[in-house]
């Protein structure tokens, strides 16, 4: 189905263009390589991984060189690594990471758990859709962060407003895709279940939910990404801890290495969470025909 495929395409380890040269002589090209265009040639996983690693190493080297020339006041990877070690040693990094993750996960879980029934209501009942859709469509056009000032005025500066905006971000992306999933369930499958004696409850639980699970999971992945992007920004305003707050604080002291440590941690954690959901998704939807 389309949504998972496009996501998988995004997650492909290396862009097709980089595979053209195919330098390593030890890697035997597949039998069809001569006939197919170089863009379509399949490289082995090991080759692709080697290209990934080389690319990352080259990037780090470039960073090091730029930092060494001192053109931009950027600390080099070595400096950032040292600072990372210090932050890890004094427990700041662990505390910040835990705080940020707790906010994201609570907002994300509540958001997607609520999005699934709401998305089903929208897809299954015309009246439900007519009631809910205008609200979802309206709030979808507002970046959740834009609501932060309003939310802080009404909810104060504690944990609630931050979790609330994350909840909203996760909820909105998940509800739309659940709804999409429900309306695109093959009607023949529903009819097949009906003629086998299924009532509405059975059709809902045993046909509609599994059939739309690929959509729900894609929505959850997008929701988690949105939640993660939102937490860091939410923490920039009045938070006692968190990766975003630490960067904001470091900025006031021109503490570039600390900022970069947090940026990198945010990136790595985001990637790990996405990969985890991708694995869950691949496991739960392995029944799908993939083209």
The least CB distance from residue 124 to another protein, in Å, is 18
- Site residues, another protein (CB under 8 A): 186, 188-189, 191-198, 202, 206-207, 210-211, 213, 287-289
The structure tokens 């949105």 sit at: 226
Q: How far is the CB of 104 from another protein (least distance, A)?
A: 30
Q: Which is nearer to another protein, 24 or 191 (CB)?
A: 191
Least spacing, CB of residue 181 vs another protein, in Å: 13
Q: Give least dist CB 284 to another protein, A.
A: 9
Q: What is the DSSP string of the chain?
A: -HHHHHHHHHH-SS-GGGGSS---TTSPPPGGGGTS-GGGPPPPHHHHHHHHHHHHHHHHHHHHHHHHHTSS-PPPHHHHHHHHHHHHHTTHHHHHHHHHHHHHHHHHHHHHHHHHHHHHHHHH-HHHHHHHHHHHHHHHTS-GGGGHHHHHHHH-SSHHHHHHHHHHHHHHHHHHHHHHHHHTS-HHHHHHHHHTT--HHHHIIIIIHHHHHHHHHHHHHHHHHHHHHHHHHHHTSS-SSSHHHHHHHHHHTT-HHHHHHHHHHHHHHHHHHHHHHHHHHHHHTTTS---
Asked if 74 and 67 touch (Cβ cutoff 8 Å), the reply is: yes
Name the one residue in this structure whose structure tokens are 């409850």. 201
With respect to another protein, which residue has the nearer C-beta, 189 or 263? 189
Q: How far is the CB of 31 from another protein (least distance, A)?
A: 24
Shortest CB 198 distance to another protein, Å: 6
Nearer to another protein, 211 or 261 (CB): 211
For 93-105, give one letter per residue: b (16+ CB within 10 A) or e. Answer: beebbebbbebbb
Nearer of residues 54 and 200 to another protein, judged by Cβ = 200
Cβ proximity to another protein, 5 vs 27, nearer residue:
5
In the complex with another protein, the residue whose CB is nearer, 88 or 198, is 198
Both tokens of 142, joined, read 């507002």
At its nearest, how many Å lie between another protein and the CB of residue 164? 35
- Least distance from C-beta 129 to another protein, angstroms? 21
Nearer of residues 206 and 275 to another protein, judged by Cβ: 206
Task: Please name which of 215, 228, 227, 223 lies closest in space to residue 284, comparing C-alpha atoms.
Answer: 215
Q: Which is nearer to another protein, 116 or 226 (CB)?
A: 116
């Amino acid at each position: 189905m389309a949504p998972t495929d496009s996501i998988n395409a995004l997650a492909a380890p290396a862009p097709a263009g980089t595979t053209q040269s195919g330098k390593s002589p030890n890697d035997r090209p597949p039998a069809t390589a001569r006939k197919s265009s170089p863009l379509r040639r399949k490289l082995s996983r090991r080759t692709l991984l080697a290209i990934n690693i080389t690319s990352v190493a080259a990037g780090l080297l470039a960073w090091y060189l730029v930092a060494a020339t001192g053109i931009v006041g950027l600390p080099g990877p070595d400096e950032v690594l040292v600072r990372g070690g210090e932050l890890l040693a004094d427990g700041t990094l662990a505390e910040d990471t835990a705080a940020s993750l707790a906010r994201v996960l609570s907002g994300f879980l509540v958001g997607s758990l609520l999005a699934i029934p709401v998305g089903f209501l929208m897809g299954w009942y015309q009246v439900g859709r007519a009631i809910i859709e205008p609200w979802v469509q309206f709030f979808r056009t507002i970046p959740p962060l834009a609501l932060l000032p309003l939310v802080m005025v009404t909810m104060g500066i504690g944990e609630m407003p931050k979790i609330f905006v994350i909840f909203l971000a996760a909820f909105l992306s998940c509800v739309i895709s659940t709804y999409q999933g429900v309306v695109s369930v093959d009607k023949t499958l529903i009819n097949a279940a009906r003629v086998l004696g299924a009532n509405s409850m059975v059709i809902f639980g045993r046909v509609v939910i599994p059939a739309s699970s690929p959509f729900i999971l894609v929505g959850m992945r997008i929701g988690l990404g949105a939640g993660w992007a939102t937490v860091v920004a939410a923490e920039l305003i009045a938070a006692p801890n968190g990766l975003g707050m630490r960067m904001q604080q470091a900025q006031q002291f021109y503490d570039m290495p600390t900022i970069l440590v947090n940026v990198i941690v945010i990136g790595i954690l985001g990637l790990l969470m996405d990969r985890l959901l991708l694995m869950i998704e691949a496991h739960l939807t392995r029944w799908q025909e993939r083209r």
